[in-house]
Amino acid sequence: MTSVHMIVGSAVIVAYLVVLALNVRTATSGAEFSWQKIVSFGAATILVVQYLLGFSLLGEGRDVPAFHFLIGLAAILPVGMEHGYGSQQTSAVDRGKIGALANVMTLVVLVVAYIIGDAR
């Protein structure tokens, strides 16, 4: 189960890299793909699956530094910023800028959590 958690963690990072690329494109060109929001929600869904796997591992009695899951849970804040605040902007460029900033913050938090978890 730990290896599944690590694989899904890698998938979350890759998914947010894709979403970041899409939001940077929107921020620079003002053009959005019709399916861009679906990809962003897909990345957030993979993150929720990662949370569920992590809580399952904790329930099994796995020992992990508290900072690993606290920093991982903190990733929900920039995700909420992207989906809550960014999606309400009327300008596609503004949505892209806010989304890209939120994606960078999400990636930083997730990579830190990944490194802490991988060090175990």
Q: What share of the chain has pLDDT > 90, as a percent?
A: 75
pLDDT bucket at 118, cuts 50 / 70 / 90: confident
How many beta carbons lie within 10 A of that of residue 79, not counting itself? 23
79 contact partners, CB below 8 Å, separation of at least 6: 44, 47, 102, 106
Could you read off the pLDDT of 17-32 as tens digits, one per residue? Answer: 999 999 999 999 999 9
Q: Which domain holds residue 16?
A: 2-118
Residue 32 burial class via C-beta count within 10 angstroms: exposed 0-12, middle 13-18, buried 19 and up: middle
Three-state DSSP class for 100? helix
The runs of H, that is alpha helices, within 1-120 are: 2-29, 36-59, 66-74, 76-80, 92-118
Task: Please give the structure tokens belonging to residue 93.
Answer: 């460029």
pTM score of the predicted model: 0.91
- For the chain, the domain total comes to 1
